[in-house]
Amino acid sequence: MLHFAVAGIPTTTPSPGGTVEGLHEAHRLGITAMEIEWVQRVPLNPDRMKEIRSTAEKLDMYLTCHAPYYVNLNSPEPAKLAASKKRVIDALSMAEIAGIKSVCVHPAFYLGMDPEVAFENVRKAVADIMKFKPKLFPNVNLGLETMGKPTQFGTLEEVLRISKEFGIYPTVDPAHMHARTNGLINSTKEWEEMLDTYASYLAKDPLKQMHIHFSGIAYGPKGEKHHLPLVESDAKWKDFLKVLKKRGVGGTVVCESPMLEKDTLKMKKEYALLNG
């Protein structure tokens, strides 16, 4: 089963808004999943998390969330590294209470270091974070994201190597991969290869529960500039959906278009028309 998630609360959510109202609005629109955006900060309120959980269970909504942007698991500054790890652990812990399945994390910046040195630093930080899994987030996935700029840690291979070691699965963002390579990764063949690579690293039917991001994207030689609505971009998004259908990909595709619920429904409707 593949869900299409709105990235944050729908724009049509009645005021005063909030995640619970947003879940009701998304459900009313016919959307079955949401990525909750904790990109500025993680709300450390267990009662609110329980309310999110009971609402999502009642409406049968599949939940993911996005951890704060202010994370660099490759920071050489001990205070910044510790704060980064804490933000990720907080997001995972609150996700556990809220019934969120997977937390998207932007792992790190290279800061001019050799990628293998950065890799080892990120790996160590992930090991420190994962020590808390049994106690704080036994049922939540840490989804290290594939990133859109060459200065950012997060090629598909990097996030897969770490994920394999810790029994987790990454957040795969083909739009970021498209931007990072200044225009590649936008065809059936390349997406097939992407899924083959993904499956080759991870155990047991990994395509059955994926955490995917997708949107149109503006890019140049330095990679990602900003996200775009599907119709304003060069993304061959209908072909991408065909690949997902053909390969039986399950889990959730978070639509990160600025058109939020409109493009989420566009993808969901197009996918429903495909014959599997």
Residues in contact with Zn ion by CB under 5 A are: 145
Burial class (CB in 10 A: 0-12, 13-18, 19+), 114: exposed
Instruction: Kindly tell me which of 55 and 103 has the beta carbon lying closer to Zn ion.
Output: 103
What Rg, from alpha-carbon coordinates, does the chain have?
A: 18
128 Cβ partners below 8 Å, 6+ apart? Answer: 85
Q: Which is nearer to Zn ion, 145 or 190 (CB)?
A: 145
Q: Which residue is nearest to Zn ion (CB)?
A: 145
DSSP letter, residue 138: T
User: Minimal distance in Å, beta carbon 247 to Zn ion?
Assistant: 23
Q: How far is the CB of 147 from Zn ion (least distance, A)?
A: 8
Closest CA to 106 of 258, 224, 228, 250: 224
Nearer to Zn ion, 27 or 173 (CB): 173
C-beta of 66: minimal distance to Zn ion in Å?
6
**Cβ-based nearer residue to Zn ion, 24 or 213:** 213
- Kindly tell me which of 93 and 152 has the beta carbon lying closer to Zn ion: 152
**In the chain, which residue ranges form alpha helices assigned H by DSSP?**
19-29, 46-59, 78-98, 115-130, 133-136, 156-166, 174-180, 188-201, 237-246, 260-273
Report in angstroms how near the CB of residue 257 gets to Zn ion at its nearest: 13
Instruction: Output the smallest distance, CB 49 to Zn ion, in A.
Output: 21
Distance, in Å, from the CA atom of 66 to the CA atom of 137, rounded to the nearest integer, reads 15
